[in-house]
Structure 1
Amino acid sequence: MDDCIIIGAGPAGLTAAIYLARYHLRIRMFDSGSSRAAMIPCTHNHAGYPEGISGKALLARMHEQARRYGAHCIPRRVTAIHPEDAGFRVATEDAEYRTRSVLLATGVVNHRPKGLLPDVHDPALERGLLRYCPVCDGYEVTDKRVGVIGTSDHGMREALFLRGFTRDVTLIAPDAAHDLDSGCAKALDEAGVARIDGPCGGWAIEGDRLALDTASGRMRFDSVYPAMGSRIRSELAVSAGARADPSGCLEVDDHQRTSVPGLFAAGDVVKGLDQISHAMGEAGVAATTIRNMLDRQQPIRR
């Protein structure tokens, strides 16, 4: 029986693996290969890398560090978590494993605008023409022309956040006319944020800008931010009995414990800032709590 199975090998999962391996615990880490961090072309927001670092390079370094302590990633998708009296039974597509504890670090998937196909999406993302995290990279669009795809309160809040970096912000409805109450409209007007109805379409990279069609004609931006929410990948924990909020974020206590004893969660699958540093901090808390919990059950001795 493993001491802990980690599901997900993004910044949270890998941080937990490093901690738990260094605690001399028997761990196993599964990953489906779809970490959102791998999509980051270059982050300048992560402390310790003044020249910036790509998400793939950061994950590669973390994998290397985990391997030094015997923590290896198994490229396999987990299909179910089954609580049992002595821990859990974790099922993958071709086998089952028993473990005393589970840490879920499966993250989220951003919703993309309709019609934004990979042949435009991926190059635009790589060039910084398409961005998903204004907390991470709002600085990079300082004084640039920025489009925000979204509406209602969520779209308004993201547009206003970006207004702190540039005067030229346009909020574009993703499907049809905007869905903005009077308070949202007033806040946007006071901030000088333009509003354009959708639908969006005709996505293309034109020169150094990302272009799209709107109800007001074709528009071009230095960067576009989809503000359309995300899908929280919490299904495994919810199916195992863990509580989640209406958006799907797992409910955890101050030590990253879910409502299912022995099942922990860290990173973007938990409600929070959706930042690498925050996910890593949560993983450190979870890993140490797991170690202490297991030690109380059976003292860890060398």
Structure 2
Amino acid sequence: MNDCIIIGAGPAGLTAAIYLARFHLSIRLLDNGSSRAATIPRTRNHAGFPDGIPGRDLLGLMQAQAEQYGAVVEMVEATAIARDGENFVVSTTNGRLPACTVLLATGVVNNRPAMPDDLHDEALARGLIRYCPICDGYEVTDKRVGVIGDGAHGMREALFLRGYTRDLTLIAPSAALTLDPSCCAALDDGGILRVDGPCRGFAIEGDRIVVDTPAGALHFDSIYPAMGSVIRSKLAVAAGARATDEGCLEVDEHQRTSIPGLFAAGDVVRGLDQISHAMGEAGVAATAIRNLLADRHPIRR
């Protein structure tokens, strides 16, 4: 019997694995290889790395640290979570695993512009596409930036980036922009240009990314898709956990979901979508898991 099965091997899942393993608990971490953090070319706002660190390198260091203390990492996809008395059974593509507790740290998936995967991956690696202005807005200081989005969400992302550059254009992804008068007024006040969609194609030319629109080809140093994301909470929701309309799992101050023994941390919970924030939630969840297990059976050496 595993003391805890962690589903998701991003910053939240790996942080929890480190904590729980150092509590001398039996930990199995399920990794399907899809952590969003692994796609970060280099994060420069994560404390302790003045020159930045690639997301994949950060995850590698965290996994090695968890395994050093006894956590078991398994490359497998979790397919279902079911109650078994006060415990759980997690179904995977490689069989069924019993656990006293489960921590869901599955994160989110960004909605991407309609472009070929190879072009998207090259643009992402070169900083021509960026998904997190909180993380890397500093890197586009005084550069020409396009925001692909619409409505209030697109407006808010463009206004956030206005703190880094004045050369901003909001582009609708698929049709004419749908902005209410207050959105238009805010964009005008910030000097942010507006261009109707659809975005009909993308290309890389030299050090710039080109967006083809009805208004013509627009060249940018970087573009930010502000198209939302898909929260990967379906395993917990299918098991009966409460979630918001958007799919974020509802948790209390100890990261406990509405199902006793099922915890959640990181981007799958409503929050800041930041590595540091996910890691903090994971530390809280891991400590709560340890204390729950100790209430059931004393943890002693």
Q: TM-score, with normalisation over the residues of structure 2?
A: 0.99
- Deviation digits for residues 135-193 of structure 1 (CA, Å, limit 9, x no counterpart): 00000000000000000010000000000100001000000100111111111011111
Q: Corresponding residue for 2:60?
A: 60
Aligned equivalents of 1:119, 1:286: Cα separation in 2: 37
Instruction: Report how far residue 85 of structure 1 moved.
Output: 1.0
> What residue is the counterpart of 1:162 in the other structure?
161
Percent identity between matched residues is 68
Note the 1:119-198 alignment, pairs <5 A.
119-198=118-197
Q: Give the aligned partner of residue 109 of structure 1.
A: 109
Partner-residue secondary structure (3-state), 2:2? coil
User: What is the SS of the residue equivalent to 1:49?
Assistant: coil
Equivalent runs, 1:1-302 vs 2, <5 Å: 1-114=1-114, 116-302=115-301
Write the deviation string for residues 201-250 of structure 1: whole angstroms up to 9, x where unpaired.
22111010000101210001000000000000000000010011011100
Structure 2 counterpart SS, 1:43: coil
Q: Which amino acid in the other structure matches residue 256 of structure 1?
A: Q
Cα RMSD for the two superposed structures:
0.6
TM-score (norm 1): 0.99
The alignment partner of 1:161 has SS state of helix
State how far apart, in whole Å, the 2-side matches of 1:28 and 1:173 are.
43
Counterpart of 2:30, as a letter, is F
The superposition leaves residues 77-136 of structure 1 with CA deviations (integer Å, 9 ceiling, x where unpaired) of 00000012131110001310111100000000000012x111210010001000000000
Equivalent position amino acid for 1:223 in 2: S
User: What is the deviation of 1:23?
Assistant: 0.2
Say which is worse superposed, 88-97 or 268-277, in terms of deviation. 88-97
Unaligned runs of 5+ in 2: none
Structure 2 distance, partners of 1:215, 1:249, is 36
- Aligned with 1:299: secondary structure? coil
Paired letter, 1:7: I
Report the Cα distance in structure 2 between the residues aligned to 1:158 and 1:268, rounded to whole angstroms.
18
1-side partners of 2:70 and 2:210: how far apart?
47
> Number of matched residues?
301
Q: d(CA) in 2 for partners of 1:119 and 1:127? A: 12
Cα distance in 2 for partners of 1:257, 1:202 equals 44
Instruction: Tell me how far apart the structure 1 counterparts of residues 196 and 85 of structure 2 sit (CA, whole Å).
Output: 55
Tell me the amino acid that sits aligned with residue 24 of structure 1.
Answer: H
SS in 2 for 1:199: coil
